[in-house]
């Protein structure tokens, strides 16, 4: 029975690269996205490359609590050992606290923080009972550095790092590792339309390589925070 990697927001950017990375390691994959057609296309791509991997997907709006809980229950129905949970689903809207549109804070918190909180709570008891597992929370350098155009996105990402730190302490007695992944600017759809050259950004595959390296450590060690930046620094 293959172990299961649960990866939210799996159809684009870092999420899609994570799906491919863990599929290459032989994990069964459970993922989600708001768009069913993108999930169908992702499954076709993954099974073409990794035909022996079990690939499960469910269209889910991770900004909606009930939908997140439904996704968590759906994952548990697979009755597979959850080895990996990657809370990756997120949304970036640039802006400033003093002039961004009303409602942006709520949208950022619901998508970038509450999704991780509610899904983790949905799956954690199963992981605790197994006494094993690794949770990766995809934060951002905006979790540790304030940017003038970060606005509510920065607030939500600071909060996600805080949640990750608390969860790390809580899970120590249960042998569940928790890693905060803190990537800088990565070439994904979030940067569509930029005038900057692609080589100024990190590759999503480089983030995945470090996540896999952290996972491969012995159970005696854990990478608590994984900070990765473009070679020339933040944008």
What pLDDT shows up at residue 1?
Answer: 67
Give the whole-angstrom CA distance, residue 235 versus residue 221: 32
Residue 39 within a domain: yes
Interval 172-182: pLDDT, tens = 999 999 999 99
Residue 233 lies in a domain: no
On whether residue 235 sits in a domain, the answer given is no
Which CATH number goes with the domain that contains 153? Answer: 3.40.50.720
Q: Is residue 219 part of a domain?
A: yes
Strand, coil or helix: 99: coil
Q: Could you tell me the pLDDT band of residue 112, with boundaries at 50, 70 and 90?
A: very high
Assess if residue 209 is contained within a domain: yes
pLDDT at 140 over 90: yes
C-beta separation of 168 from 224 below 8 A: yes
* Residue 31 is assigned to a structural domain of this protein: yes
Is residue 188 situated within a structural domain? yes
Query: Is 153 labeled as catalytic in the residue annotation?
Result: yes
Domain count, the chain: 1
Phi, psi of 114 (to 5 degrees): -60, -35
Residue from 114, 117, 153, 215 carrying the catalytic annotation: 153
Q: How far apart are CA 63 and CA 113, in angstroms?
A: 9
Is the whole-model pTM more than 0.75?
yes
Tokens of 105: 């804070």
Q: Distance (Å, rounded) from C-alpha 86 to C-alpha 20? A: 13
Q: Which domain holds residue 134?
A: 4-228
16 within a domain of the structure (yes/no) = yes
Could you report the per-residue pLDDT of 151-167, keeping only the tens digit for each? 999 999 999 999 999 99
Asked if 168 and 178 touch (Cβ cutoff 8 Å), the reply is yes
């Amino acid at each position: 029975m293959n172990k299961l990697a649960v990866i939210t927001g799996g159809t684009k950017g870092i999420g899609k690269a994570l799906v491919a990375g863990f599929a290459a390691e032989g994990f069964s994959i459970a993922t989600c996205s708001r768009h069913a057609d993108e999930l169908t296309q992702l499954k076709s791509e993954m099974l073409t490359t990794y035909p022996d991997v079990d690939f499960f997907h469910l269209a889910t709006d991770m900004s909606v609590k009930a939908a997140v809980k439904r996704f968590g229950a759906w994952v548990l129905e697979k009755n597979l050992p959850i080895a990996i949970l990657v809370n990756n689903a997120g949304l970036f809207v640039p802006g400033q606290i003093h002039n961004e549109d009303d409602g942006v804070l709520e949208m950022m918190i619901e998508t970038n923080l509450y999704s991780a909180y509610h899904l983790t709570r949905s799956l954690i008891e199963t992981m605790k009972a197994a006494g094993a597992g690794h949770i990766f929370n995809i934060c951002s350098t905006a979790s540790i550095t304030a940017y003038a155009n970060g606005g509510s996105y920065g607030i939500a990402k600071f909060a996600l790092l805080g949640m990750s730190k608390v969860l790390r302490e809580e899970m120590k007695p249960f042998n569940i590792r928790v890693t905060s992944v803190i990537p800088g600017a990565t070439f994904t759809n979030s940067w569509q339309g930029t005038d900057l050259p692609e080589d100024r950004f990190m590759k999503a595959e480089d983030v995945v390589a470090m996540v896999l390296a952290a996972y491969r450590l012995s159970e005696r060690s854990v990478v608590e925070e994984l900070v990765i930046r473009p070679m020339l620094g933040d944008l």
